[in-house]
Structure 1
Amino acid sequence: MNQYPRPPVRESWTASISADLFLRVLNITLLHPFVAWIIPLCFRAEHQEFNTKPMIISIAWASFVTMLAIANRFSHKIAYGMHREVNLSDEVIVITGGASGLGLLIAEVYGMRGATVAVLDVAELENTDVRGVTYYKCDVRDKAEIARVAGEIERDLGPPTILINNAAEVVGKKLLDMDMEEVEKSLTTNLLGYFYTIKTFLPGMIRSEDGATIVNVSSVIGHLGAAQLADYAAAKAGVTALHKSLAAELQEHPGIKMILVTPGQLSTPLFSGVKTPNSFFAPVVEPIEVAREIIKAIDLGISDHIGTPLYARWVDWYNVLPVGLQKIARRLSGIDKGMTTFVGRRGTELSEKNGHPM
């Protein structure tokens, strides 16, 4: 056994280039209304007349981009309604699976910003120095345990106003290689746990005069499915369906905001060892990117659907393709081979103990 850890593998500078990078650049340049209008202003500064070809094209483009931005804003308001006022000093945030990864990032940010945060997890906090965060040992698969912890949170911190369902479990085996205990544990953690927490905390949220926010972290795999992820994909598809159905039921409570998150592969220990088949079209997503979008939506007091990277926002169109093209797309993407190198959180912990960090 080698007692010295291996140096980190250096990736090529091209590894950071992706379709999402190009889109981000476009969104702050040619596709941004303010920037688009600067172009005809520059032409005008050169004393070009309004009837010249460059001026006509640039004004038409700026007008088109502006109308798209306005239409997108109206579409969002029609779909999700008005925002609610969010005052972090009055908010009590509950995060399941918040001891590490994405959940811990969100907890740390809100804790540093002065919000009251309760983290529910079976594992201990990876960062015990984070301020403003109270840890409660809780297994989201246990209804009685959730009820007990909910009472403690209300007694210690106050009634929760923001619930972030983030707890997750990945088995990473073929269906025939899993025993039923693993299947039940996965489905309970990834799906039923969301039902349990919502049923527990939602009544108090509805009673809140200032409204509340529920964030459900699903996955793009819930739309696509993938080999060795039958349990996980089924649960995440259920989370997406639960979110949409609950949002329909809560229309009579406009103060309750609903945020659905469907990310691609995250660079967290949960999916350690999984190799993305195409880093350009399907790059691995850093948790900080998803956390930033979730925090932005919560702070704005809006309902939203957050999908990242780019393909995660357009994945619904996959089901529109003819079945033959769907098959070809799966083969080209390599989605059904990504889990062949999976080691997961436990594999990462064992590797680190043996002096071989992943």
Structure 2
Amino acid sequence: MVRRGADLRLRRPVVWVVGASRGIGREIAGRFAAIGCEVCLSSRKSSDLESAVRQIRRLGGKAHSFPCDIRKIGSVSSTARRIRRDVGDVEVLVNNAGVTVFKTFMKTSLKEFGAILETNLLGQITSIKAVLPSMVRRRGGHIFNILSNAAIKTFEGSSAYTAAKAGMFGLGKVLREEMKTHHVKIVNILPGATETMMWSAALRKKYSSRMMKPSSVAEAVLAVYRMPDDAVVDEMVIRPILGDLGG
């Protein structure tokens, strides 16, 4: 079984963060590296990815760049194989890749629906499929699905995003039941408005005081990871101190 605490002094758990080039994913990668994990960062944006890796290494962390297109099954599968070959079995998967459009259902095209579901739902399913067998075999692991409180609360103008996040939320609950006897912890993280590039520059400027920083979400993920082996946080809702935008 995968254990934390004293083991961190003896070995480096392998953490794979998908969607790690900036924002929440980048902060999560940095936090795991800071406690001694060996972090594999993936994203479609190679330049941002290299910047994130350099930043972690400058601070003394162990980090590797593995560019990956989460929308393509072949890319995800080959990336997982390369990580296993070059670094080791993934013990922690952070599913953070995500895209959206802020439009009503009527104005969201089927092409836009497809693109959002492809990344936010199917892509995350593919990454789980790539690492779960080794976690089951080793009887231990963590999978963090970075979702949104849109999965459980209604926000107008986010129908495609909500459909994808709600789908992953439900899948996470099913996986949790199926994996508990294998000691694989499935955790749904549901952040409220967070100051990331998913929002336009104008909205970030307008609502900055009403948004959380990505580092706040990263700290929450790390706290859940450090729970004792005999306990799991099934899901965590994290909201800005002043409440949700539009709610």
TM-score (norm 1): 0.59
Counterpart of 2:198 in 1: which secondary structure?
helix
Deviating above 4 A after TM superposition, structure 1's stretches of 4 or more consecutive aligned residues are: 275-280, 310-313
Deviations 1:226-246 (A, max 9, x none): 222110011111111011111
Counterpart of 1:252 in 2: which secondary structure?
helix
Greater Cα shift, 303-312 or 107-116 = 303-312
Instruction: Give the structure with the larger helix fraction.
Output: 1
Instruction: Give the structure with the larger strand fraction.
Output: 2
> Which of 18, 41, 46 matches 1:96?
18
1:223 aligns with 2:148: no
> Which of 33, 40, 48 matches 1:111?
33
Q: Which residue of 2 aligns with 1:299?
A: 226
CA distance in 1, matches of 2:103, 2:246: 17
CA contact (8 A) 1:170 1:270 kept: yes
CA distance in 2, matches of 1:251, 1:191: 22
Structure 2 residue runs without a partner (length 5+): none
CA distance in 1, matches of 2:205, 2:178: 37
Q: Number of matched residues?
A: 231
Deviations 1:219-274 (A, max 9, x none): 11111232221100111111110111111111321x21122101100011112343
Overall identity of the aligned pairs, in %: 27
Deviations 1:53-81 (A, max 9, x none): xxxxxxxxxxxxxxxxxxxxxxxxxxxxx
CA distance in 2, matches of 1:127, 1:310: 25
Deviations 1:139-195 (A, max 9, x none): 111111111111100000001111110111012223333332221110111111111
Q: Which residue of 2 aligns with 1:85?
A: 3
Structure 1 residue runs without a partner (length 5+): 1-82, 316-332, 336-358
Deviations 1:73-129 (A, max 9, x none): xxxxxxxxxx96213433110111011111111112222333111111101214342
Counterpart of 2:144 in 1: which secondary structure?
strand
Amino acid at match of 1:118: C
Q: Which residue of 1 aligns with 2:175?
A: 246
Deviations 1:265-316 (A, max 9, x none): 0011112343799999xx4111111110101111225421221127899x9x
Counterpart of 2:188 in 1: which secondary structure?
strand
Amino acid at match of 2:184: I
CA distance in 2, matches of 1:192, 1:278: 31
Amino acid at match of 1:265: A
CA distance in 2, matches of 1:90, 1:128: 17
Amino acid at match of 1:127: A
Residues 190-339 of structure 1 aligned to structure 2 (within 5 Å): 190-209=120-139, 211-253=140-182, 255-272=183-200, 273-274=202-203, 283-301=210-228, 302-304=231-233, 305-309=235-239, 334-335=246-247
Q: Which residue of 2 aligns with 1:138?
A: 68
CA contact (8 A) 2:53 2:63 kept: no
Counterpart of 1:271 in 2: which secondary structure?
coil
Quick check: which has more Rg, 1 or 2? 1
TM-score (norm 2): 0.84
CA contact (8 A) 1:218 1:239 kept: yes
CA contact (8 A) 1:263 1:312 kept: no
CA distance in 1, matches of 2:222, 2:44: 24
- The Cα shift of 1:135 comes to 1.1
CA distance in 2, matches of 1:106, 1:242: 22
Amino acid at match of 1:115: C
Amino acid at match of 2:222: I
- CA gap of 1:118–1:128, structure 2 versus 1, over 3 A, is closer
CA distance in 2, matches of 1:100, 1:94: 14
Superposed CA RMSD: 2.6
1:155 aligns with 2:80: no
